[in-house]
Amino acid sequence: MTQSITPELRQWIIEQSTAGCLPESVLDAMVKAGWQAEVAERALEQTLRDHLQQIGAGRVVAPAPATSTVGARHAIGVAVPDLALAGSPRRVDAGDREVDVIVSMGQPRVVVLGGLLSDEECEALIAAARPRMARSLTVETTTGGEELNPNRTSNGMFFQRGESELIRRIEARIERLVQWPLENGEGLQVLNYQVGAEYKPHYDYFDPAEPGTPTILQRGGQRVGTVVIYLNEPVRGGGTTFPDVGLEVAPIRGNAVFFSYNRPHPSTLSLHGGAPVLEGEKWVATKWLREREFV
């Protein structure tokens, strides 16, 4: 008896997957409901591929075995940067130093890191950025240009990739840590938030529905990961929040939060923001990682 993919089945697969259900669980449920395993697998893959094409999310990759570390692949989505955390190590190798693993979360994929930069490196980065600060721009997805964004009240600047020994050292460390080519990274951005300044919750990926997005994607594809490094410590406030899961990462000098998103969709739960600074000021450096070489 041959079994065919009905519109109802397609709809059900998409609903399960966008709700965050792993493909293994979707397959399992289909087999339990009487589907031949092979047919179920084919239906799942084809349905998700078609769906991703419709929402403009790029190529589909098969789920990787649990032991895979480099370029972790997930249910429906592209390969993304990730740390080598199999076996739950206390520290991970970042080339010229070891970095503490403080928190590791699966969904959203978030890893909080301790001691990514030394105090001296944080100070040096602030000193190099300070004379070049201007009110932050964000990429305007309706046009593909840049504009002042009222949701972001910080000041900022971009370093060129590899522009100094310090920048090269930090970029090499991030490359090693998240196992992602440094060529895929945008230039390091430094932001400064004064009291009351914040970065309202947003996604770092570019919205596929916006008309300016195809232009933006020409320079290396989608963003698939972010590293936010804390360069100083505000007295109160200024944490990085993940509202979908009620997580707030404390801004501690030299620490960092890494998160990835394997498709440009809210079901990644990668919504995040910079909470208002209540006392003191906040300095961070952000590295955004693209699918391919950022040119």
- Binding residues for Zn ion, rule: CB under 5 A, are 204
What is the Cα–Cα distance from 186 to 203, expressed in whole angstroms? Answer: 16
159 touches ligand PD2 (CB under 6 A): no
CA–chain centroid gap for 192, Å, is: 21
SS3 state at 287: strand
Number of H helices, E strands in the chain: 6, 17
226 touches ligand PD2 (CB under 6 A): yes
| Selection from 143, 138, 140 nearest residue 212 by Cα | 143
272 touches ligand PD2 (CB under 6 A): yes
Q: Residue with the closest Cβ to ligand PD2?
A: 274
240 touches ligand PD2 (CB under 6 A): yes
> Cα torsion at 214, 217, 221, 227 (round to 10°)?
-130
Q: How far is the CB of 62 from ligand PD2 (least distance, A)?
A: 30
Phi, psi of 183 (to 5 degrees): -65, -20
Q: Using CB under 6 A, count the residues that bind ligand PD2.
A: 11
Question: Which of Zn ion, ligand PD2, none has residue 240 at its interface (CB below 5 to 8 Å by kind)?
Answer: ligand PD2
Q: Per DSSP, what are the bridge partners of residue 229?
A: 256, 285
Tell how strand 155-158 and strand 189-193 pair up: antiparallel
Q: How far is the CB of 149 from Zn ion (least distance, A)?
A: 11
Query: Which C-beta is closer to Zn ion: that of 46 or that of 149?
Result: 149
234 touches ligand PD2 (CB under 6 A): no
Interface segment toward ligand PD2; rule CB under 6 A; list 78-86, 141-149, 209-217, 272-280? 272-280
Q: List residues near ligand PD2 by CB under 6 A.
A: 191, 199, 204, 226, 228, 240, 272-274, 284, 286
